[in-house]
Structure 1
Amino acid sequence: MTDLPKSNDLTATWTFVEPGLQLIIGGSEENSGVTPQMYMNVYSAIYNYCVNKSRTPQNLASSTTNQSSLLVGAEIYKKLKDYLITYVSSLKKKQNESFLEFYVKRWTRFTVGAGYLNHVFDYMNRYWVQKERSDGRRDIFDVNTLSLLTWRDVMFKPNSDLLIKEILEQIRLQRENQVVDTRSLSVAIRSFVLLGIDTQDLKKQNLDLYTTLFETPFLEATKSFYAAESNEYLSSHNIVDYMRKAEQRINEEESRETLYLDEHSKKPLTDALNDTLIVAHSQTLYNEFNNLLDQHQIDHISKMFNLFNRVPSTLEPLAKKFSDYIETQGLNAIDNLLNDTQNEASKESVTNEDGSIAPKKPNVSKSQVDPKLYIKALIQVYQIYQKIVSSAFQNNPIFVKALDSACRSYINVNSIAKPLNSKSTSKTPDLLAKYSDNLLKKNKDADATSDMSVDDIMIVFKFITDKDAFETHYRRLLARRLIHGTSSSEEAEESIIQRLQTENSLEYTSKMTKMFQDVRASNELKILFKEEVTRDWENSKNIVPDFQPFILAETMWPFNYNKTNFQLPTDLVPTYTKLEEIYQSKHNGRILKWLWSLGRGEIKANLSKPGKPPFTLSMSLYQMAIILPFNENDSYSIGELMELTGLDNQTIIASIVPFLKYKILNQSPLGQDNLKNSETKISCISEYKFKRLKINLFNGVKLEQKQESDDAEKEINDDRKMFLQACIVRIMKARKNLSHTNLINEVIQQSHQRFNAKIIDIKRCIDLLIEKEYLQRGENQTYEYLA
């Protein structure tokens, strides 16, 4: 092959290059080496033929012929095409090899040779092939593409069924943990992609061949294999073992994707695995979920979540089961707390009329439940499942929402707060406010509040639906702490208010903030009062110098002013007069309304033996008005005390009972019923014997507990009516005209942050605003805003 053939002789040229083509494309195994000299000779012979034929004199003589028509290659292109068909048809597998082995070996060699062959015919590719395709000939291809198409038509298509069968068999064996040649699988499957040639656009990848002939049967075989395996495995193993097996199989298939599948197959394969291994057995997994929660198997729960997370549609039913489970646990925790409280109460005994002792019948009201135990029971359930949401469910929004929904349900409606289908208001806001009060009040027993925290308050606050009720109850207790000086820390108080404001709104805590401002202003007034008394000491000897006045904004504080006939004790009149004088000099025109029922003070009682220190008695202002007259006389009738103090019989009785209990005053005749008699005598003892020198006689909380609850409920209802009316006016002012349904929906949406508005209450507020001429009814159940 050292002498090149004549450049214008097709037969000689082809006879010269054909042995070289045989070696390049991978012909005889005995003579498979291709030398550089031989390669260049073949290239040169083809090049010379194409160039020479394009420049023949007869072609050059025609001046009217287009230059592109001079390009020649059809004869040699046909020779090559016939040769490739003959070559591929001649390939036969050996008896001792499978078709897959034969196919992979010959395909690998053929594709390498086709690449070299493409270079050999480079001149023809660049000129003649390109010209023909630009002229619209879509049956003409570059040599590499021609080689692949020849292989597809002659070798691949006639044997595709056998090839796919053997590929799928190898994959099945691999799934059964047998060793297979993964490289051969990869090459064979890759050939499906390479042979998917779009003859209209060679640059465009066409996966029709791959998806139709391989991917579809592969996915069907995969589903069939794993459906049978999963059913058999579940029949002899538990759910936890199955989840491990499913996870292992999915990981194996993902590795298989990387090794020899096309990118296109990843999603269909993932869907097939999900449907077969997860969705098909989802109900069985759901049924086991509660058992895993009972056993607190976080790792197994996490494994179940990871499986279901592959199929988002399966998460909602799991989240629903999770929510129902949490709600049940929360309700059970409260039921257990109520039962424990009743059991403790039943341990107490009573004495019967015949002198026998019998167990006391438990009659535990919701108000008697310890707020700390109640709030801790709520929080404990939340914290257990919040950890599961965090660790097992990776804070997935669906499960965060499920946890919130369940907590909101059992926290607001349970056997203590509000039985199911009850129309009463939930007691949780009230109990949470009392829990806060216990935490923030001064407490001699530090251990009693050691496990209580502000975080507990905020956790439960997040879930209560009647946030306005909590604000009312909390503000009432805050007012008591501020007025009576029982708050443990002003910083702690303000910290909670700041967090409530962050969680809700500035408007939500506006009244509380104003209360602190009033207390600070009152402290300044106290200092001014003391300075005035000290400056004019001669004329102020009858004034109490340590008097602490509280000047409160009437609309911000939860105290109701009731005009009474109460007569201030003579000893306190100078102090009262001096304060009025100082305040009016600073704030001319303001009217002070005195809340006598909230007054408290201390009295020194010289009832000890001579030489011993006096007793210090802490009491309400009403009690002071009752006890001070005994400085003048040793005995008064109930009627005389009523006349001296201006108090009614019920208040007199409630105020005297603590004195009788501690035996500072004596009653004649004895008996609770006799206290209602205005002729009953009350006398003061001359010498008092008691171990402690300080005695707290104040029973205001007990006196006003029922009234306090009623006032709070009334305030909540009144505030809600005003809030709903404000919402309606605000909405209608912006819309001018709105249908009944849309107005109801918008009011519910705007009030959701404070409380769950009832439709009947909204309707009543609409009717009230129509009466006030804010709105008027229009046609077709609409309302119009009246400017």
Structure 2
Amino acid sequence: MSATLPAFTDLNATWTFIQPGLEFILGAQNDQGVTSTMYMNCYTAVYNYCVNKSRRGSTPQSIAQNSDNNSYSLAGAEIYQKLNVYLSQYIQHLKKLSTESFLEFYVRKWTRFTIGAVYMNNIFDYMNRYWVQKERSDGRKDVFDVNTLSLIKWRDEMFNPNCEVLIEQILNLIEKQRNNLIVDTNLISSSIKSLVYLSIDPQDLKKPNLIIYVNSFEKPFLKATMDYYSRESSEFLLNHNVVDYMKKCETRLAEEISRSNNYLEEHTKKPLLDVLNGALIEKHANEMYDQFLQLLEQNQIGHIQRMYKLLSRVPKTLDPLADTLENYIKKEAKIALDAIKKQTMTNIEDDNKKKGNGTVEPKVYVNTLISIYNQFNDIVIKAFNKDTKFIRSLDNACRYFVNNNSIATPKPRSPSKTPELLAKYADGFLKSSVKETDSIDMNADNLMVVFKFINDKDTFEEHYRRSLAKRLINGTCKSDELEESVIHRLQEENSIEYTSKMTKMFSDMKASEDLKLKIKQQSSNSTIVKDFNPLVLAQSMWPFRHVADYDLKVAEELQEPIEKLKQVYIEQHSGRQLQWLWNHGRAELKANLSRKGKPPFSFTVSNIQLMILIAFNKQKSYSSKELHEIVGTKKETFEAHLLPFTKFKLIETSTNEINDDTIFTIVDEYKSKKLKVSFISAIKSNESKIEEDEATKEIDEARKTYLQACIVRIMKSRKQMKNSELINEVMPLTLSRFKAKVIDIKRVIDLLIEKEYLKRLDDNTFEYIS
């Protein structure tokens, strides 16, 4: 290359001067680089031509005309055209070596060509900044800076004619890498990146454009990937189990993600994952479903977690898995609960193990429900990562088996016994009289877990409230704090209204304690009653009712504190009436019937039994008729409370059969090893059956009232509604308390029509009557 610069007016001389330098820059001379002198001479020659040609390229007249715009004619078109032709010819004459593949040739020449294009772009910098920019701003979208022009020429002369061969060899190399063969990863990376550089939008050079990359590489690559993994996965499953296949999937996915991070554009990553998920996971989801049950039975948490992670990549494939889990939980729960029922029935039949009425113990029943829940809750947490879909499956299964099982519903249409058993379970750990060993593994946490799943929460509330009432009036609460904490948790789970009656019961107990102190201050010390604990309870809040069978004649010795109670209470609350519930009270009395020198006995008795024993302070013997007249109450009730005394030989009888003439005599010396004796537990009565009937009746009435309120509230706002629409709106409103039946809603509608709140129109529509 001559060191003498050409005349700046001579295009051919200028091109002849710079062409050898371009050869060195682009690597035509065996990759020998250009020297700094040669580089500067080429730059100067182009600069001189463009600058001076621009100044001289116009007539004086045109220059004068352009002077108004402070501009002149820019030169560059001729030398740009020379470069355009040169690049085409240069690329066309590139030859691959006989020892290399086309891909190796392509990457080798591409790497050198793009380096040279950057340097060549700098040589033509002046032309780029002025002539090219001016042409493009004037709308010439076929004119480009030299670097972009080089890429376009490479695309047109090298890539387009050889596209199919190049892509085929890239995909072959990727497949070899998938087959664990050693390949030159630079060939893959460089060739793929070249496609990104060649994706040029002539209309907007700055706008990202991947049209060549997507159409020429991405689409064939995704198809090849689908074919490869569809074939490999099917062949692998023919000779391996599902667990091994899942491990294989994890390995393949990790490899492909790594490959996508190293070679592929961001645009390809999502469709690649979709293809992989389709070929490896979605296509073989059924095989995984078949294995899932076996993994559950073997408690293979790790493998279940692996299956979940794979299937979660295709969210819709999780639905059958969640359904399978739900059905499996139901099946396992049925087996466990049926086993408990069978064991209970076996115990009943065995006279040595008979426990009484033959029902399953609440503790055993509830703890079984809890163990099933905990077992599968652990699986949901560990294997399914607390996925809401599987939490919902667990909840649905629990809600089903808690309310429907051989113990809860021994008959197909019978109401579930779970709420009642749960209330008894709560009574078991809240009552102080229960042995500590019997209440182990019983706590409020278990109570709340099961409570969440029961449908008939109003049934639980009624039975729980009744057992709470007994604990309060009998003073058998283990802890007031514990009682209140359970009520607070029930309130949080449901509503303030749900626990309002229970809260009021505690208020009544506090008010009764204050009343007791006032009575004590005003009473004399002469009475035989040393401690009087009256409980004044609001009739609407407490589950007690007055029973005529228990109308009692109070002994004279007990009249003073009772009269004082009436006096103090009426002074505080004028207009209120007191009604005595003698069947719910109890008393403790001292009996000097022990051997001389021994302390007196302490008897726990019912109010009726108290009146019977006080009568024996006056004389030692009574006939049955005399004693009954003293005590009052219904005869059957009197005899039921009297029998425990004869059974435990506190009172002796003249005959085994009781009639009006039967004589009852108190013993002089009671021979019991215990100083504290309770005669209440031995009283035979049908109170439990009566109470159960009362609870059922109250639940039914409460539901009827609740449904009436819901229907009236809806109809008041809507005025007119069709039968089906009204039922559909009412049913969701009841779910917080119970699961309403359509037949019950229809009966309540008929009742409201009778009460003239609604009227039926001809077209099966109801209208609200204001």
- 3-state SS, counterpart of residue 589 of structure 1: coil
Q: Per-residue deviation at 1:603?
A: 2.9
Identical pairs, percent? 51
CA contact (8 A) 2:26 2:113 kept: yes
Give me the whole-angstrom Cα distance separating, in 2, the residues matched to 1:81 and 1:26.
17
Gaps of 5+ in 1: 350-358
CA contact (8 A) 1:543 1:574 kept: no
Of 246, 252, 263, 2:255 maps to 252
Of 263, 268, 271, 1:265 maps to 268
1:698-717 counterparts in 2 under 5 A? 698-699=680-681, 703-717=686-700
Question: Is the alpha carbon distance of 1:58 and 1:605 closer, same or farther for their aligned partners in structure 2, counting shifts above 3 Å?
Answer: closer
CA contact (8 A) 2:469 2:543 kept: yes
- 3-state SS, counterpart of residue 783 of structure 1: strand
Residue 297 of structure 1 pairs with residue 293 of structure 2: no
Give me the whole-angstrom Cα distance separating, in 2, the residues matched to 1:377 and 1:59.
105
Q: Per-residue deviation at 1:501?
A: 1.2
More divergent stretch after superposition (188-197 vs 761-770)? 761-770
Residue 394 of structure 1 pairs with residue 377 of structure 2: no
More divergent stretch after superposition (608-617 vs 244-253)? 608-617
The equivalent residue for 1:572 is: 558
- 3-state SS, counterpart of residue 9 of structure 2: coil
More divergent stretch after superposition (541-550 vs 379-388)? 541-550
Q: Per-residue deviation at 1:12?
A: 0.7
What letter is aligned with 2:218? E
CA contact (8 A) 1:732 1:784 kept: yes
Q: Per-residue deviation at 1:26?
A: 2.0
Of 448, 451, 457, 1:458 maps to 448
Give me the whole-angstrom Cα distance separating, in 2, the residues matched to 1:258 and 1:58.
55
Give me the whole-angstrom Cα distance separating, in 2, the residues matched to 1:205 and 1:98.
31
The equivalent residue for 1:485 is: 475
What letter is aligned with 2:601? F
CA contact (8 A) 2:640 2:685 kept: no
The equivalent residue for 1:321 is: 324
Q: Per-residue deviation at 1:167?
A: 0.8
CA contact (8 A) 2:640 2:684 kept: no
The equivalent residue for 1:735 is: 718
Of 550, 569, 574, 1:588 maps to 574
Q: Per-residue deviation at 1:638?
A: 4.2
CA contact (8 A) 1:342 1:363 kept: no
Residue 472 of structure 1 pairs with residue 462 of structure 2: yes
The equivalent residue for 2:679 is: 697
CA contact (8 A) 2:55 2:72 kept: no
The equivalent residue for 1:353 is: none
Give me the whole-angstrom Cα distance separating, in 1, the residues matched to 2:666 and 2:617.
9
The equivalent residue for 2:208 is: 205
Residue 524 of structure 1 pairs with residue 514 of structure 2: yes
Give me the whole-angstrom Cα distance separating, in 2, the residues matched to 1:8 and 1:50.
9
Give me the whole-angstrom Cα distance separating, in 1, the residues matched to 2:331 and 2:232.
36
Give me the whole-angstrom Cα distance separating, in 2, the residues matched to 1:364 and 1:103.
91
Question: Is the alpha carbon distance of 1:58 and 1:557 closer, same or farther for their aligned partners in structure 2, counting shifts above 3 Å?
Answer: closer
Question: Is the alpha carbon distance of 1:513 and 1:574 closer, same or farther for their aligned partners in structure 2, counting shifts above 3 Å?
Answer: same
More divergent stretch after superposition (284-293 vs 701-710)? 701-710
Give me the whole-angstrom Cα distance separating, in 2, the residues matched to 1:437 and 1:137.
91
More divergent stretch after superposition (140-149 vs 82-91)? 140-149
Deviation string, structure 1 residues 183-227 (Cα, Å, up to 9, x no partner): 220110111111111222222222221122211111111111111
Give me the whole-angstrom Cα distance separating, in 2, the residues matched to 1:508 and 1:781.
35
Give me the whole-angstrom Cα distance separating, in 2, the residues matched to 1:688 and 1:135.
125
- 3-state SS, counterpart of residue 222 of structure 2: helix
CA contact (8 A) 1:500 1:509 kept: yes
Residue 599 of structure 1 pairs with residue 585 of structure 2: yes
More divergent stretch after superposition (610-619 vs 517-526)? 610-619
Question: Is the alpha carbon distance of 1:93 and 1:434 closer, same or farther for their aligned partners in structure 2, counting shifts above 3 Å?
Answer: same
More divergent stretch after superposition (760-769 vs 559-568)? 559-568
Of 742, 751, 761, 2:734 maps to 751
The equivalent residue for 2:9 is: 8
Give me the whole-angstrom Cα distance separating, in 1, the residues matched to 2:590 and 2:57.
141
Give me the whole-angstrom Cα distance separating, in 1, the residues matched to 2:71 and 2:661.
137
Deviation string, structure 1 residues 75-114 (Cα, Å, up to 9, x no partner): 1111111101100011111011111111111111111111
The equivalent residue for 2:108 is: 105
Give me the whole-angstrom Cα distance separating, in 1, the residues matched to 2:623 and 2:119.
128
- 3-state SS, counterpart of residue 695 of structure 1: strand
Deviation string, structure 1 residues 301-333 (Cα, Å, up to 9, x no partner): 111111111111111111111111112222222
Give me the whole-angstrom Cα distance separating, in 2, the residues matched to 1:701 and 1:669.
20
What letter is aligned with 1:727? C
Question: Is the alpha carbon distance of 1:302 and 1:57 closer, same or farther for their aligned partners in structure 2, counting shifts above 3 Å?
Answer: closer
CA contact (8 A) 1:7 1:13 kept: yes
Of 237, 243, 246, 2:246 maps to 243
CA contact (8 A) 1:68 1:131 kept: no
Give me the whole-angstrom Cα distance separating, in 2, the residues matched to 1:140 and 1:225.
43
1:143-292 counterparts in 2 under 5 A? 143-292=146-295
More divergent stretch after superposition (60-69 vs 766-775)? 60-69
Residue 78 of structure 1 pairs with residue 69 of structure 2: no
Q: Per-residue deviation at 1:408?
A: 1.0
More divergent stretch after superposition (775-784 vs 569-578)? 775-784
- 3-state SS, counterpart of residue 767 of structure 2: strand
Deviation string, structure 1 residues 692-739 (Cα, Å, up to 9, x no partner): 122111136964111111111111111111111122222333334444
More divergent stretch after superposition (514-523 vs 653-662)? 653-662
Give me the whole-angstrom Cα distance separating, in 2, the residues matched to 1:471 and 1:444.
22
Give me the whole-angstrom Cα distance separating, in 2, the residues matched to 1:471 and 1:701.
27
- 3-state SS, counterpart of residue 55 of structure 1: helix
- The CA RMSD measured in Å over matched residues stands at 2.2
Question: Is the alpha carbon distance of 1:654 and 1:446 closer, same or farther for their aligned partners in structure 2, counting shifts above 3 Å?
Answer: same
Question: Is the alpha carbon distance of 1:444 and 1:738 closer, same or farther for their aligned partners in structure 2, counting shifts above 3 Å?
Answer: closer
Counting matched residue pairs gives 764
What letter is aligned with 1:474? Y
Give me the whole-angstrom Cα distance separating, in 1, the residues matched to 2:57 and 2:170.
57
The equivalent residue for 2:545 is: 560
Deviation string, structure 1 residues 227-269 (Cα, Å, up to 9, x no partner): 1221222222222111111011100100000010111111111
Q: Per-residue deviation at 1:640?
A: 4.1
The equivalent residue for 2:361 is: 370
More divergent stretch after superposition (706-715 vs 484-493)? 706-715
Q: Per-residue deviation at 1:480?
A: 0.3
Q: Per-residue deviation at 1:392?
A: 1.5
TM-score between the two structures when normalised by the length of structure 2: 0.95
Deviation string, structure 1 residues 752-786 (Cα, Å, up to 9, x no partner): 11111112212222222232233334564443333
The equivalent residue for 1:439 is: 429
- 3-state SS, counterpart of residue 70 of structure 1: coil
More divergent stretch after superposition (439-448 vs 704-713)? 439-448
Give me the whole-angstrom Cα distance separating, in 1, the residues matched to 2:57 and 2:702.
109
Deviation string, structure 1 residues 630-670 (Cα, Å, up to 9, x no partner): 44454445444443333223312321232232122344542
Question: Is the alpha carbon distance of 1:274 and 1:74 closer, same or farther for their aligned partners in structure 2, counting shifts above 3 Å?
Answer: same
Of 488, 491, 500, 1:498 maps to 488
What letter is aligned with 1:542? T
Give me the whole-angstrom Cα distance separating, in 1, the residues matched to 2:227 and 2:331.
40
Give me the whole-angstrom Cα distance separating, in 2, the residues matched to 1:780 and 1:42.
97
The equivalent residue for 1:96 is: 99
Of 755, 761, 767, 1:784 maps to 767
Q: Per-residue deviation at 1:629?
A: 3.0
Give me the whole-angstrom Cα distance separating, in 2, the residues matched to 1:485 and 1:235.
71
Give me the whole-angstrom Cα distance separating, in 2, the residues matched to 1:776 and 1:203.
74
Residue 660 of structure 1 pairs with residue 643 of structure 2: no
CA contact (8 A) 2:428 2:434 kept: no
Give me the whole-angstrom Cα distance separating, in 2, the residues matched to 1:779 and 1:29.
101
CA contact (8 A) 1:569 1:624 kept: no
Question: Is the alpha carbon distance of 1:192 and 1:228 closer, same or farther for their aligned partners in structure 2, counting shifts above 3 Å?
Answer: same
CA contact (8 A) 1:775 1:786 kept: yes
Give me the whole-angstrom Cα distance separating, in 2, the residues matched to 1:781 and 1:444.
56
CA contact (8 A) 1:274 1:311 kept: yes
